[in-house]
Amino acid sequence: MRRPTLKHHVEFGAFRLASALIGVLPERVALSLAGLLGSLAGNVLRIRRTDVDHHLETAFPDATPEWRRGVARASYRHLAREVVATFRLSVSSADDVRQRTTVHGLQELKAALEEGRGAIVITGHLGNWEIGGASLAARGIPLDAVVFPQRNPLFDRHLTDARARLGITVIAKADASRMVFESLRKGRVMALMADQNIRTRPVFVDFFGVPAATAKGPAVFALRTGAPVFLGVSLREPGWPARYRVLIERVPVARTGGLNADVLHLTRAHVALLEDHVRSAPEQYFWLHRRWKTRPPEVSDALGQEPPSEAAV
């Protein structure tokens, strides 16, 4: 772990104080308070609000401005509530996680694991992805997740420990190229985020009709190992207490004999499935992320920008 600075200690101390408060408040009060803070961030402080509005206009150009503003406001409230819900659930038991979640497609995932090649579950920043992973681990699915390290090493360690308590083994992004293959050889499930903007060697596939720089990794791992591929999302259901509907859907893997073409086809398939789920619950998506920041080479050339690096898979 990197040596923490004074700033890291101060940040982590504030986080622990907030976590303690969250833990003693009744759930409904804690989540309602979080929703208010989310509204403050989005509507008053307007943190990244210009980006959110632009992203929603890009994804839903035919929707009314009033509808998009409503989705934007709801997305800030949702994000704040789910951060609180995740930290509360991270100290809960596997029984608590099972009671709060219903998983659709679990039997198909278990059947795929019996083939002995592991499985890849691709997900995105929709609903509550942390609880989605925990719902599988709580049901006996051996789950590893590739994650980016947090800037604050104290918080990074805390988050890793919280995931471990929920039964999720963390693999650092820097170790993914080696550890993913090992995990799959052991017959485990490999969970991968695949809806972030990628600057280095991306593949461009449409997301809401606009080319988005997308990681090749999930498709490459699947095609090279023969591991079955699933898309998984965890959507918050209305009402109290907080409950989640976890959907696991198999993604077809086509093989033409050309790796680059197959990577493109598989990436298009899982991105399209994620888009369908985002359309069903747009207020639960992480619109703060600059998903379309990196542009395709032909667009970059037209704008006088340096295109992203494009290397063969």
**pLDDT tens-digit readout, 214-226:** 999 999 999 999 9
pTM above 0.75, yes or no: yes
- Any domain includes 126: yes
pLDDT tens digit string along 120-152? Answer: 999 999 999 999 999 999 999 999 999 888 888
- Any domain includes 138: yes
DSSP assignment letter at 227: -
Q: Which two tokens stand for residue 185?
A: 């050889």
For residue 161, pLDDT beyond 90? no
| Adjacent-strand bridge partners of 244 | 101, 236
Confidence tier at 311 by pLDDT (50, 70, 90): very low
Provide the domain limits for residue 65. Answer: 6-293
Q: Contact, 226 vs 213, CB < 8 A?
A: no
| Adjacent-strand bridge partners of 206 | 211
- Any domain includes 300: no
What is the C-alpha to C-alpha distance for residues 238 and 88, in angstroms, rounded to an integer? Answer: 18
Cα 44 to Cα 52, 57, 66, 74, distances in angstroms: 14, 20, 17, 14
What is the C-alpha to C-alpha distance for residues 28 and 43, in angstroms, rounded to an integer? Answer: 22
Closest alpha carbon to 257 in 216, 219, 214, 223? 223
Neighbours of 23 (CB within 10 A): 12
Each residue of 108-134: b (16+ CB within 10 Å) or e?
Answer: ebeebbeeebbbbbbbbbbbbbbbbbb
- Any domain includes 140: yes
* Count of structural domains, the chain: 1
| Beta strands across the sheet bearing 119-123 | 101-104, 243-251, 229-237, 119-123, 189-193, 143-147, 168-172
What is the C-alpha to C-alpha distance for residues 199 and 210, in angstroms, rounded to an integer? Answer: 16
Section 100-125 average pLDDT: 97
- Any domain includes 84: yes
Q: What per-residue confidence (pLDDT) applies to 219? A: 97
Give the residue, 159 or 214, on which the prediction is more confident. 214
Section 257-269 average pLDDT: 94
Q: What per-residue confidence (pLDDT) applies to 303? A: 44
- Any domain includes 23: yes
pLDDT tens digit string along 51-63? Answer: 999 999 999 999 9
Q: Which two tokens stand for residue 118?
A: 């592991």
- Any domain includes 312: no
Sign of CA dihedral 20, 25, 28, 32: negative
- Any domain includes 302: no
Using CB atoms within 10 Å of the CB of residue 217, give its burial: 0 to 12 exposed, 13 to 18 middle, 19+ buried.
buried
Q: Contact, 129 vs 154, CB < 8 A?
A: no
Alpha helices in the chain (DSSP H): 6-24, 27-39, 49-59, 65-89, 94-100, 106-113, 129-137, 153-165, 176-185, 217-225, 259-280, 297-303
